[in-house]
């Protein structure tokens, strides 16, 4: 067993802490877990993304079952998002299969898209309410066909982001739905976003499985840690100021994005040398 695989309790603890944040804020799963796997545990970026995608599919399936029971899913919106995201996910996975998924080119591509997704996520966390106040009414006055077309395009963009970085289905998806469907209650916005994330992350995760970028030992540890973490966070959600948490999470994501961007500035040979010296 390698040095990293011997640290299964560390994976579970990291997943527990991330799960608490997800329970408290509703976001932060992929946007924190994937960078933690890359930066803290030294896992290859493609493996980190693929493993976290399957982890997200499992955890969000449970969340969508709860929302489905509570009838807080707008299936019309889910279908529109999936119409854009699933084909884009398949195309993105096909494109990734054309390169060495564990090579330096894929490493730099994933880090670049991940850093971009983290910055966009941080911005939406901080300015979501302001953006909604400014644009929601204008977008809400569009014809339903126009809203449907924009939703499909948003789904396509999220599908590409999630397939490469595992980030985008949470904060970015919720913010887009708040802007496009201001008439929907918050619970239905969140429920619809979670329900859409299930087929999206499952399709992307299966794609990464075929690419060979899944670590099932790590996946199991993440599940064992994140499920109790989400329960704890959800229980504590009413006792912690949401805005303060979102601000802290946004600052954390920007710091992680800066770290990933710094890694992109290294020559590819340095990256290969780094990974060659990292135990797996």
What does the chain look like in DSSP terms, one character per residue? Answer: --TTGGGHHHHHHHHHHHHHHHHHHS--HHHHHHHIIIIIT---HHHHHHHHHHHHHHHHHHHHHHHHHTT---HHHHHHHHHHHHHHHHHHHHHHHTS-TTSHHHHHHHHHHHHHHHHHHHHHHHHHHHHHHHHHHHHHTS-HHHHHHHHHHHHHHHHHHHHHHS-STTHHHHHHHHHH-TTS-HHHHHHHHHHHHHHHHHHHHHHHHHHT---HHHHHHHHHHHHHHHHHHHHHGGGS-HHHHHHHHHHHHHHHHHHHHHHHTS-HHHHHHHHHTS--
Low-confidence spans in the chain with pLDDT less than 50: 1-7, 267-280
The pLDDT tens digits for 131-152 are: 877 776 677 678 889 999 999 9
The pLDDT tens digits for 177-211 are: 888 988 888 888 888 988 898 999 999 999 999 99
Stated pTM of the model: 0.81
């Amino acid at each position: 067993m390698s040095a990293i695989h011997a640290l299964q309790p560390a994976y579970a603890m990291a997943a527990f802490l991330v799960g608490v944040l997800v329970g408290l804020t509703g976001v932060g799963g992929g946007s924190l877990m994937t960078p933690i796997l890359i930066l803290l545990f030294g896992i290859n970026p493609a493996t980190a993304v693929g493993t976290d995608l399957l982890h997200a599919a499992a955890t969000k399936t449970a969340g969508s079952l709860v929302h489905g029971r509570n009838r807080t899913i707008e299936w019309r919106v889910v279908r529109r998002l999936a119409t854009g995201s699933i084909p884009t996910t398949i195309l993105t996975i096909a494109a990734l299969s054309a390169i060495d998924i564990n090579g330096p080119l894929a490493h730099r591509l994933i880090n670049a898209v991940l850093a971009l997704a983290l910055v966009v996520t941080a911005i939406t966390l901080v300015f979501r309410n302001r953006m909604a106040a400014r644009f929601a009414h204008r977008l809400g006055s569009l014809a339903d066909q126009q809203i449907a077309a924009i939703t499909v395009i948003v789904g396509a963009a999220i599908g590409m982001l999630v397939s490469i970085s595992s980030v985008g289905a949470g904060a970015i998806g919720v913010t887009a739905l708040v802007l496009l469907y201001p008439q929907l209650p918050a619970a239905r916005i969140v429920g619809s976003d979670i329900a859409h994330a299930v087929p999206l992350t499952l399709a992307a995760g299966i794609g990464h499985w075929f690419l060979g970028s899944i670590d099932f030992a790590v996946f199991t540890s993440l599940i064992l840690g994140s499920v109790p973490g989400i329960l704890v966070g959800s229980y504590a959600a009413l006792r912690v100021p949401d805005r303060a948490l979102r601000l802290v999470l946004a600052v954390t994501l920007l710091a992680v994005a800066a770290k990933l961007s710094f890694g992109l500035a290294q020559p590819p040979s340095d990256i290969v040398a780094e990974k060659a010296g990292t135990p797996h």
